[in-house]
Amino acid sequence: MDIVLRATFAFAFIVFLTRIAGRKELSSLEPIDLILLVVMGDLIQQGVTQSDYSVTGLVLAVGTFGVLQATTSWAAFRFGPFRKLVDGEPIVVMQDGKVLEANLRRERISLEDLAEEMRGQQLASFDDVAWAVLESNGKISFIPKTR
């Protein structure tokens, strides 16, 4: 029972932390983010299973994560308010070539970050962008102007 409760708490804490940390942190996967992912995984394991090396413990911990992930995903699909709570909503950061700086500031995204993302989608100039939307997964979608 203990492992299931620990895994449930760990899952809820991870969802909570990723939700409040901001989307910029979600989208980037710099070397430091990769290292942090591995380190956090190890720290979570220690808190969940502690000194339990059994296969039963493994099944309980991984099973709990799997069931919670599937349940969260289903609830987000089924209930709109819950989806907004766990996934968030998109934010428009550019419209018709104009950068909406207040919205960028809110998500701690600099103009340089935006330009970098834009270049990644083969767009050279802000003027080429009709819409840029910061999605709930942290990625920025650019919709080019039609010529």
Q: Which residues bind another protein (CB under 8 A)?
A: 2, 6, 16-17, 19-22, 50-52, 89-92, 95-96, 100, 103, 106, 130-131, 133, 143, 145-146
Residue 2 amino acid letter: D
Tokens of 30: 């710099």
Tokens of 24: 């910029």
When the beta carbons of 59 and 130 are compared against another protein, the nearer one is 130
User: How many residues appear in the chain?
Assistant: 147
Sole residue written with tokens 């819409």? 131
Shortest distance, position 119 Cβ to another protein, whole Å: 20
Please state, in angstroms and rounded to a whole number, the distance separating the CA atoms of residues 123 and 141: 11
Shortest distance, position 2 Cβ to another protein, whole Å: 5
Shortest distance, position 124 Cβ to another protein, whole Å: 18
